[in-house]
Amino acid sequence: MALENKVALVTGAGRGMGRAISLSLASDGAQVAVSDINMSEVEDTSTALRELGQQSLAIHADVGQLADIDRMILETVDRFGHIDILVNNAGITRYLDIMDVEEEDWDRIHRVNAKGSFFTMQRVAKELIKQGGGGRIINIASIAGKGYSGTSNAAYAASKGAVIAMTYIAASQLGKYDINVNAICPGSTITAMADNTMAERAESMGVSVGDLQARRADRIPIGRANDPEDIAAMAVFLAGIGARNITGQTFNVDGGLVMH
């Protein structure tokens, strides 16, 4: 229970990686506030956390809205008294060829993935500093942000590249407050969002989803896509004592798809 007495906030926690990360943090002792735009899903996650014996709080929030971000942090601190760990996980995408990306696609994706991630990180950092410093911020980026050509679309890749860049800058400027800032860059991960994107891709290519899944596995050196728990394991490590002197780093969890 290495995270006992720690309070974590996980965004986009209703399903997929966010849910898995929340459960893993709670299993390691953390009390976890979970937020999502889908209230029924995030309430299910919160219930599962309480069944593990940890306190939890479900929050309805759209991280593309600054007022929601502020309320999300206030509710977390009001409930638990403080905050120690942020996992900035909320994100969206869809499959689009580069020639099909329109302004509304760009704005929608960047509103959540870039703007939402930045202002959530900034707001949590303000709280950590007010508390006297110390804390962990873990941004969920993507190997798409490092140029992986199999990305769902160019706007998504750009938004995740922004998350990587802001991780570097935040780490350099928040280190004096003993706040560690790192990013996890997942590769192909089996989630509902990824399944939807794969279905869109398969339809556009005129092939079956099963065919695309086989092609995906063939491209991965280790031979399999991530489960959400693979990302959760890295998040728990970065939240723990073993990562106390690690900051400004991006960690690929991708089976070897991108090796830098």
Place of tokens 């906030």: 9
DSSP-assigned states of every residue in the chain: -TTTT-EEEESS-SSHHHHHHHHHHHHTT-EEEEEES-HHHHHHHHHHHHHTT--EEEEE--TTSHHHHHHHHHHHHHHHS---EEEE---------GGG--HHHHHHHHIIIIIIHHHHHHHHHHHHHHTTS-EEEEEE--GGGGT-TT-S-HHHHHHHHHHHHHHHHHHHHHGGGTEEEEEEEE-SB-SHHHHHHHHHHHHHHT--HHHHHHHHHHHSTTSSPBPHHHHHHHHHHHHSGGGTT--S-EEEESTTS---
Q: And the tokens for 42?
A: 């995030």
95, 148, 156, 177: the active-site residue: 156
Q: Please name the amino acid found at residue 157.
A: A
Q: Is 156 part of the annotated catalytic residue set?
A: yes
Q: Please name the amino acid found at residue 98.
A: I
C-alpha R_g of the chain? 17
Active site residues: 156
